[in-house]
Every structure is written in structure tokens, then in C-alpha cells.
Amino acid sequence: MTAQADVDDWDVPGDLNVNDAMTDKLYVLPMRRDGDGRPAFHPDSMLLVKTAASDGVAIDYAVGAEDRRFVDHFSAGPDVVEIWLSLLGPITDVTLFALGYALNGLLRRRGVKDKDLETSEVKVGIAQINAKSGKMKGVKISGPKGAVIETVRELRDNQ
Amino acid sequence: MIYRLKLLEHGRVPPESGPARQAYLLEIGRSALELAEVEQTDLLAALALTPPFPILDVSGDHEADLLAATRMRADWDELKSQLPAEVLEAHEQAARRMTKLAVEALNFLEDTELADRAHALVDSTALLSSGLYGCKLWVEDGEVWTDCPIRMSHVRWGVSLEMTTEWGCSICNERFDVCPHDPSTEYEVTTTHATGSCSICHEHECEHEDGTIVAVRPFPTTLSISSGATAMVARPRYPRARATAMTLDIPADTPLYRQAEEGVLFCDQCRQSCAGLRELDWETPPLGS
């Protein structure tokens, strides 16, 4: 039996925004908070965005360089890779590919072998920006990476 | 109770999770474990000693335990009296090192199949080291301190820093998130130690020779740190980020305090039978009395 992903509504924090969003592009959202409670990125985001830029994959930070903060927690982390992403308008083939690229990169960085990528547990927050209202509608999907990608593909098909 | 903590280490940050972390923990932990076992075997051979060694089985009956502790100390004194003083003295550093290596092994291997072996090694090396050489308590800033390896290692907790960090590029030293260097591309860099650390690996001590050109991939290094907070966690990212010393509840106006001041007060914790490892428990204080 194929493993399924769990899908839950996600109330996207009100202070998470995307600067100058474009369609067909994924924006990494800050998942952490700094000492003053301001949104901050996981340091893994740096390697993800730079590698994506080098490979021509459409992934960028949600906020500009001047407002970007990185917070590190020096405890051993959970074994489930998590990432929050945002996109403007509908899910497309381009953003679906970028999602798979991002998850593979994060998993490989933790030493996951290619043969285990599809079955590794991940959690993805997707905040879709309404092109007219600018409001975000969120969903969180968790499960094996292959099942999560398949679920996002179904979301794209049912848009 | 006051703790002295190790928070961070120089160099690259250990992997956060996943197979990369498991491989990292196993590589360093196994090396420490095997080295500690060799050191223990060598020490026993050098001193011609064979276990079992005197140990205090704590019964909970205070009077009986005091008597048993006195007997245990006398047994160790008797054992030591049979060893040539110069031979004993010559191996003290090795004995301390072996115990530290065993604790290191436990810190790295606590969630692996080698955890029980590492734990048993902490107990046996600490018993031997404490029995032969003693663990002296000391006074500092009006408190009695101990760095007892058993107290430090048997409640499993460590320290996690939460830091807002500005990351620089290992090649150009500009902000890593905005500089042009791609982490998947190799760049040729000339080796220099002019800043105090190596331009190639960013370690203080390494084998890279000044002037040589090395192809390296850029990686993030710390430019600045702000708004740090510290939390107690069950599993610190740095396996060595743990308590390294702690104070004991010995009031200043007591004979024990004066003995500690005079350098004649010793900790017996390592010479008691092991009550097992404990996980971090928020209901009771860590390293409780």
C-alpha cells in the first residue's frame, strides 16, 4: 500500500510576507523567530537558495537582504525535514519541480541517500498568495516525500 | 547550584539530524570508545591490576553506608599501598584521559547500539581513576566545585544556544546569503593563516601550508552573533555542549568546606555502584543531590 501524506489547513502567521512576489517561483518563508520575536530563517535556507540559483531553479527568499535574519538552535533537530514556502497564484509544473528540488536538497544535506529520498519524512507548509487580494492561504502537508509531492500535484490538478 | 557549561566549539557546526548526524556521532564516538578501552587495558597492565575493584553499594541506610564507605576507602588505600608510588604517579594523566575519553564516547554514542558499552566504560574508568588518584573538590568564588565525570554524565542533558547569526562566506567573508559564491562549485584559494585561522578550512590548527593553492567549496562561517539565549536540552547539537563542572551544596561555615579549601576533600561518587543513566526530567533538578 502506498503511504499517504496528511494534509491540514495552516493559519499562516500574519507577519509572514513575500516581497515582490512573481508567479512560477517558490519563496522560502522564515520558520523561526529571533530573540525579539521577529521572523527568522533556518540557516539551511542559505544553502538551498544559493544552490537553486546556481542550478537555475526558481527559489528565492521571501524577504529582501536587508530584513533577512538567520537563527540557529544548537540542539539536535527533529528527523523530519520541514520547510515553509510561498507562491503567487496557482501551483505550476515549475513550482512543483522547485518543491521537489528543495526537499531533495534538504534531505541530502542531512545525509539521506538518493534511494531513500522518496520515503523520507518531510513536512511542507505552502502559503499560496491570492494574486488579487494579496492574502495568503496555507496548507501543511506531511508524510514521505514522494507522497507529499503527489499530494501537491493533486492540489495543482484541482485548482 | 551553579554549573559551568561548554556552549560551542570552534569549527564547523555538527549536522542537525538525519544520517549525516548519525555518521558524525558514530565516527567520533567510536574512536573515543576504542581509544578509552585501549587506555584502560594499558593502565591495568602497567599497574598489574585486575578487576573487580572496591566499590560502594549504596543501601540507603545512612549509618550502614557510612561504614561501607569507610571500608571501601580503606580497601583502595590497601590496594594503592601495594603499588610503587612512582609507577602510580607516572600513569595519573593516562587515567584521567581515559575517563574523559569514555565520557566523550558516551556523549557521542548515547543513542546508538554502542551506548551501553560506552556507559559501562565511563563507570569502570571513573572507578579506577577515582580509586587510584581521587577526585579533589575545590573552592572558587565561595563555592565548593566538582568536575566529577559520573555526576556530569549520568543525567543526560546538554546546552542549546539560540542565536541570531550573521553568516559570512568562507572565501570572500561577505554575507553568505548575498555573495556570489556557489556552495556546489569549487574555487581556488591561496592558503594563509594571517587572520589566525586557515583560509582553507578555517581551523586554528591544520596541515594547510601558506602559499599553496587549494580548490575549496565555500561554506558559511560566523560573522557575528547576537541575542543569544541558552536552553537545557536532552540532545545538544554539539555533543560536548554540556556541564563541565558544578557546585555542591556545602555551606562555607562547615568542616567539609574548610577541607575543600585545604585541598583534602575528595568526591566518592565514582566509587559508588551505578544507579543508571537518567534522561532530562523537568520535575527534578538536573544532577540532583
Interface test with B, best of A75, A107, A120 (most B CBs within 10 A): A75
**Count of Cβ atoms closer than 10 Å to residue B213 Cβ:** 10
Looking at the partner chain, which of B17, B164, B220 has a beta carbon nearest the beta carbon of A77?
B17
| Average pLDDT, rounded, for chain A | 92
Whole-number pLDDT of residue B169: 93
DSSP state of A5: P
Which positions in chain A touch B178 (Cβ < 8 Å)?
65
Q: Which distant-in-sequence residues (6+ apart) come within 8 Å of A21 by Cβ?
A: A27, A86, A87, A88, A129
Q: What are the phi and psi torsion angles at B223 (to 5°)?
A: -90, -45
Contact B108, B241 (CB under 8 A): no
Cell numbers representing residue A115 in the block: 534511494
Q: Which residue of B has its CA nearest to A64?
A: B178
Q: Which residue of B has its CA nearest to A111?
A: B20
Across the interface, whether the CB atoms of A74 and B8 are under 8 A apart is answered yes
Cell numbers representing residue B279 in the block: 534522561
Phi/psi-derived region of residue A128, left when phi > 0, alpha when psi is between -120 and 50, beta in every other case: beta
Cis peptide before B15 (omega within 30 of 0): no
Whole-number pLDDT of residue B281: 66
Q: Which H or E run contains B287?
A: none
Q: How far is B28 from chain A (nearest CA, A)?
A: 16
Contact B236, B16 (CB under 8 A): no
pLDDT in tens, chain B (289 residues): 899 999 888 767 788 899 999 999 999 999 999 999 999 999 999 999 999 999 999 888 989 999 999 999 999 999 999 999 999 999 999 999 999 999 999 999 999 999 999 999 999 999 999 999 999 999 999 999 999 999 989 989 999 888 888 999 999 999 999 999 999 899 999 999 988 888 888 888 888 999 999 999 999 888 888 867 888 889 999 999 999 999 999 999 999 999 999 999 999 899 999 989 988 765 555 443 3
**Count of Cβ atoms closer than 10 Å to residue B130 Cβ:** 24
Across the interface, whether the CB atoms of A72 and B177 are under 8 A apart is answered no
> C-alpha dihedral over A117, A122, A127, A128, to 10 degrees?
40
Whole-number pLDDT of residue B7: 87
Looking at the partner chain, which of B17, B182, B220 has a beta carbon nearest the beta carbon of A78?
B17
In sequence order, the β-bridge partners of residue A112 are: none
pLDDT tens track for A133-154:
888 899 999 999 999 999 999 9
Question: Does A158 touch chain B if contact means CB atoms closer than 8 Å?
Answer: no
In sequence order, the β-bridge partners of residue A81 are: A122
Q: Cα separation of B201 and B218, whole Å? A: 10
Q: Beta B266-267 vs B135-136: how paired, if at all?
A: antiparallel
Cis peptide before B183 (omega within 30 of 0): no
Looking at the partner chain, which of B17, B160, B238 has a beta carbon nearest the beta carbon of A79?
B17
Domain boundaries, chain A: 6-157
Domain boundaries, chain B: 15-157+234-279, 170-220
Quick check: pTM over 0.90? no
Which positions in chain A touch B164 (Cβ < 8 Å)?
34-35, 40, 69-71
Across the interface, whether the CB atoms of B160 and A47 are under 8 A apart is answered no
